Amino acid sequence: MSNSLDSLSPKELGLRLRISREAVGLTQAEAADRLFISRTTLVAIEQGKRTVKDSELIRLCDAYGVSLNTLLRKEAVHVDLLPRFRKMPEQESSGIAEAVAILNDLVSAEVELEQLLGIERVSRLPPERSLLPGDVRKQAEEDAQDLRKFLGLGKSPIIDLFALLDLELGVRVYFHPLSQKVSGLFAYDESLGACILINSNHRWERQVQTGAHELGHVVSARQDIDINQEGPHENSRKERYANAFAPAFLMPTRTVMQKFNEICAGSKRLTRRHVIVLAHYFGVSREGLVRRLEELGLAPEGTWDWFEKNGGITDKQTADVLGFVRGDLASFAYKSKGSLRLEMLAAQALDRELLSEGQVASLLGIDRLEVRELCDYLEDGHNGTHQLSF
């Protein structure tokens, strides 16, 4: 091995090369062809049994589209969530493989930054609830209320679900543009914790619904990964649980009944204005709110379908009633380079010169200009900015 690489063992380097190859979906034979080496040579390199030459290493990284520094950097974290998703039939769908790779990269980036900065991420997940025999929807309702009590939420609506997930429960939550059909992913690992990826291309209300659904998986069936996408839904017990958990968590039964009574008092029918105000109160989509009302027997079954057939409940109507439309605002997530926490960690690493611009760009999969934006609002001590002592 070249002296330039002797801080990384051949086995570790080989493992990283294998993960990088698999991340771009190349077989060993395909990769070997591109490099004009034999498959057995590549196998030996990946197993750490054969020293990789400098020129081969450069060509391998070119072929895999990965940064050499990412591969060689000692503290680079190479999370490998891919094999878990590979077992699911859905992962062959378009967009899923890409989403899994994105989640993998974002988790790797965050873990590496934590290690570099000497920060330990604290997970405060409650013990997992197993799925018991019987009605999973009732279990989900009860578990959702128990979690609300655990978090001290009482009966109040949730102002920011993602801040709750991240800052209260210690869940790693990321936003990234994904294929339109993919709402989100969930994976759990003992060392990494719970990890959720949300499609930043979706409207805010749909993101919240996805987040709450994935939270259902965090609470129960934690060890199973989840792919949340459009199309025929899996009808497993754990999916039915998560589907019931989300509205129960966001819109607790008694609170919905109470607010419904207050808002709709004196009316003989449910109007668009009622739906808009209640959805705004709970921070959910108009459809989500109406379906919850149907579920709780506060609106006849088919109410949402009626609204849809009769012009829907539009953003303009919402803006007229509320004075703004939350879903029209680019959510912070849409512009985020992964997550707010990830951005803060990266900015600190830059400020302390633990990582360079180029390293942060490749770590977060962003360009130089976006890296520089991370440094906005880093105080430079002018006007007596307070120093923090830990």
Partner 1 sequence: MALISCLSEHQSPVVLDSSVVVNLNATGAASQLLSLMPMEVHVPYPVLRELERGGARGHQDATLLTGLAESKLVQIVELPEAATSTYLRLMSGSSRNSLGDGEAATIALANAANVSAVIDEKKARRIGREQFPQLLIASTVDLLAIPEIVGSLKEAELSGVLFNALTSARMQVHEPYVEWVVGQLDDALLEQCTSLPSRFRIPLAAG
Residues that bind partner 1 (CB under 8 A): 2-5, 7-8, 54-55, 57-58, 62, 65, 67-69, 72-76, 112, 116, 353-359, 361-362, 365-370, 372-373, 375-376, 379-380, 382-383
Give the number of other CB atoms < 10 A from CB of residue 349.
Answer: 20
In whole angstroms, how close is the CB of 173 to partner 1 at the nearest point? 21
Distance (Å, rounded) from C-alpha 170 to C-alpha 385?
29
- For partner 1, the closer of residues 80 and 357 by Cβ is 357
In whole angstroms, how close is the CB of 378 to partner 1 at the nearest point? 10
In whole angstroms, how close is the CB of 362 to partner 1 at the nearest point? 6
Residue from 91, 103, 92 nearest 198 by CA: 103
Give the number of other CB atoms < 10 A from CB of residue 173.
Answer: 28
- For partner 1, the closer of residues 68 and 119 by Cβ is 68
In whole angstroms, how close is the CB of 206 to partner 1 at the nearest point? 23
- For partner 1, the closer of residues 58 and 132 by Cβ is 58
- For partner 1, the closer of residues 163 and 375 by Cβ is 375
In whole angstroms, how close is the CB of 59 to partner 1 at the nearest point? 12
In whole angstroms, how close is the CB of 368 to partner 1 at the nearest point? 5
Q: Is the separation of the CB atoms in 364 and 337 below 8 Å? A: yes
H-helix or E-strand spanning residue 22: helix 10-23
Q: Is the separation of the CB atoms in 74 and 8 below 8 Å? A: yes
- For partner 1, the closer of residues 265 and 369 by Cβ is 369
Residue from 293, 285, 288 nearest 261 by CA: 293
Distance (Å, rounded) from C-alpha 81 to C-alpha 105?
10
- For partner 1, the closer of residues 302 and 358 by Cβ is 358
Q: Is the separation of the CB atoms in 199 and 113 below 8 Å? A: no
Residue from 87, 279, 96 nearest 183 by CA: 96
- For partner 1, the closer of residues 144 and 360 by Cβ is 360
Block residue for tokens 């009605």: 135
In whole angstroms, how close is the CB of 89 to partner 1 at the nearest point? 29
Sign of the CA dihedral running 177, 182, 183, 188:
negative
Rounded to 5°, angle at Cα 173 from 375 and 249 = 135
In whole angstroms, how close is the CB of 387 to partner 1 at the nearest point? 15
- For partner 1, the closer of residues 53 and 86 by Cβ is 53
Phi-psi bin for 126: left (phi > 0), alpha (psi -120 to 50), beta? beta
Distance (Å, rounded) from C-alpha 211 to C-alpha 214?
5
